[in-house]
Amino acid sequence: MVFQVCPYRLPPASNLKASSGPLIKSSPFPPFSPFSFKFKRVSFEVTILQMGTTDTAGKDLTSSLVEKKPKVVFVLGGPGSGKGTQCVNIFQHFGYEHLSAGDLLRAEKDSGSENGTMIQNMMNEGKIVPSEVTIKLLQKAMVESGNDKFLIDGFPRNEENRAAFEAVTKIEPEFVLFLNCPEEEMERRILNRNQGREDDNIETIRKRLKVFLESTLPVIEYYKAKGKVREIDAAKPVGEVFEDVKVIFTPKVEKLKRCCCCCAVL
């Protein structure tokens, strides 16, 4: 009943009078009494307010992000292709904030939130977490950061992720850094890295590789058709890979200056 959620105690029925008519003896809330109408109305208004607050929070995140006008680069590649390592190097040399979708999800999983168990189960199965969960975590991290340049590592993982990210955040990536690495090499790296992660076992690794090939490669092909993919041979040693990465991230003005200096020397 509606009046049971009331935070304070109501007076006894013998003390209540309707706006017209005799004392209300049968119940403090007769079907058409003014009291019944008022409390039903309050309950309805509170429900609308709560729904509006949730919706507004999502809109506020998007508005704040649009105002910030961030530069976003998606860093994609299979598990073990070296995304995290190269993102750290890019952060140190070019000042991009590194946002790992996997790390954000693992932190949410460990936080005890209602999404935690669902995230845990999906990670164990090598499946993709619903887009709205990951996008909300990424939005929050970008809004709270003092930076306006971001590397989003390991997202989007499928076409639905991609479309949802662009629709919700109103952001298209500047480009996609694709670390291309053979499956055998990725599998070897993961088994040798010994980070103690629950999903670093052979069964889960193969599931993740399967998801990457079936779901993430189409995202890369989508951006390749738009001329936004920068592909790197990630099977090479880390240092050599980063030399190739630096060429991509070095501003055009700086490249031009270097070229002019070389010409002057000649």
| Burial class of residue 241 (count of CB atoms within 10 Å of its CB; 0-12, 13-18, 19+) | buried
User: Phi and psi (nearest 5°) for 97?
Assistant: -75, 130
pTM of the model: 0.69
Residues contacting residue 84 through CB under 8 Å, at least 6 positions apart: 98, 100, 153
User: Phi and psi (nearest 5°) for 174?
Assistant: -60, -45
Residue 20: the pLDDT is 43
Residue 98: the pLDDT is 97
Closest CA to 106 of 2, 11, 30, 198: 198
Residues contacting residue 190 through CB under 8 Å, at least 6 positions apart: 79, 80, 200, 205
pLDDT tens for residues 112-142?
888 888 998 888 887 888 999 999 999 999 9
Which residues of the chain carry a pLDDT beneath 50?
1-54, 56, 253, 256, 262
